[in-house]
């Protein structure tokens, strides 16, 4: 049994932790509030991020933004104060590469390794071990933790140099944004054009134009089941903006990305705190 630390016990972190516990690992976690859900599945509560880091040589961080990552790493009772030789930390949150690199450099000064990691998939996919886990950075450390990662996914991939996991996740999310927008346009045209959605959806799912996002969200659109949220339109809009900068840095055209940015900026106020499948409503209102 390996003792594993976990910080970021949200919609992704909780099912990951559950899989780790069910695989026989002791999982030590910290959350400012609501830790009962974690201890209820067999997790061990810690009093601070530093206590998590002290207890585990392998620590997963699945945090929502760069401020949260900064707080658990360098805040009061943060991980940096207890980082040590041989410790491996895996940043599964979608933070910009320069932010992750800054933390990686600081951990390296303590002899610890910080891996660039990403989760590509919805919470339901994580629960079903169907999400892809991307790892990048020090390959020997990635291979060392692979058996642990494979307790919560069937798709663990090492993608090369540090930053590659984040960049590939962003490119993947451009396709997510495109496919959801395409699904919303198709459902809007089909349902308002008199096509039976019970015929439309399976026909497209089995056709050449299908996508994983169409299969997931087209039924949600038809049923107008936009809660609970599987994915945030605001988050997708952020990702598309980050992808635009990648395109600029690469010296390639941003024409399609610019259209997507415009679309999502207009749609986010309509969607609000509901699932991005509510993008359907944007297409139902002609400009």
Q: Can you read off the two tokens belonging to residue 57?
A: 């040589």
Phi, psi values for residue 68, rounded to 5°: -65, -40
Exposure of 96 by Cβ count < 10 A (0-12 exposed, 13-18 middle, 19+ buried)?
middle
Handedness of CA 61, 50, 103, 261 (dihedral sign): positive
Residue 44 annotated among the catalytic residues of the structure: no
Taken as a whole, the chain contains a residue count of 287
Residue 17's alpha-carbon distances to 30, 126, 205, 261, in angstroms, are: 12, 10, 32, 34
88 bridge partner residues: 58, 113
| 182-185 contacts, C-beta under 8 A, 24 or more apart | 182/211, 182/214, 183/211, 183/213, 183/214, 183/217, 183/218, 183/221, 183/277, 184/217, 184/221, 184/277, 184/279, 184/280, 184/282, 184/283, 185/283
Residue 53 contacts by C-beta under 8 Å, 6 or more apart in sequence?
5, 59, 79, 81, 82, 83, 87
Q: Can you read off the two tokens belonging to residue 182?
A: 């395409």
Phi, psi values for residue 135, rounded to 5°: -130, 145
Which of the residues 129, 169, 199, 234 is marked catalytic? 169
Residues labelled catalytic: 169
């Amino acid at each position: 049994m390996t003792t594993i630390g976990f910080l970021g016990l949200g919609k992704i972190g909780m099912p990951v932790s559950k899989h780790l516990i069910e695989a026989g690992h002791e999982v030590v976690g910290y959350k400012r509030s609501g830790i009962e859900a974690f201890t209820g599945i067999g997790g061990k509560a810690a009093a601070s991020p530093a206590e998590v880091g002290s207890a585990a040589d392998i620590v997963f961080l699945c945090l929502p933004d760069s401020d949260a990552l900064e707080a658990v790493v360098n805040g009061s009772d943060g991980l940096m104060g207890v980082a040590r030789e041989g410790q491996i930390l895996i940043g599964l949150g979608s933070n910009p590469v320069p932010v992750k690199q800054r933390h990686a450099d600081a951990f390296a000064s303590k002899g610890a390794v910080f891996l660039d990691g990403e989760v590509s998939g919805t919470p339901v996919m994580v629960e079903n071990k169907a999400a892809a886990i991307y790892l990048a950075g020090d390959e020997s450390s990635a291979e060392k933790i692979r058996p642990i990662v494979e307790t919560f996914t069937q798709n663990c991939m090492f993608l090369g140099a540090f930053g590659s996991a984040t960049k590939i996740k962003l490119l993947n999310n451009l396709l997510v944004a495109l496919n959801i927008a395409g699904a919303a346009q198709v459902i809007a045209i089909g349902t308002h054009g008199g096509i039976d959605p019970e015929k439309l959806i399976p026909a497209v799912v089995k056709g050449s134009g299908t996508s994983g996002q169409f299969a997931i969200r087209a039924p949600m659109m038809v049923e107008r089941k936009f809660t609970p949220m599987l994915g945030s339109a605001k988050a997708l809009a952020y990702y598309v903006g980050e992808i635009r900068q990648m395109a600029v840095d690469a010296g390639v055209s941003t024409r399609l990305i610019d259209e997507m940015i415009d679309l999502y900026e207009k749609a986010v106020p309509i969607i609000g705190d509901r699932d991005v499948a509510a993008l359907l409503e944007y297409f139902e209102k002609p400009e």
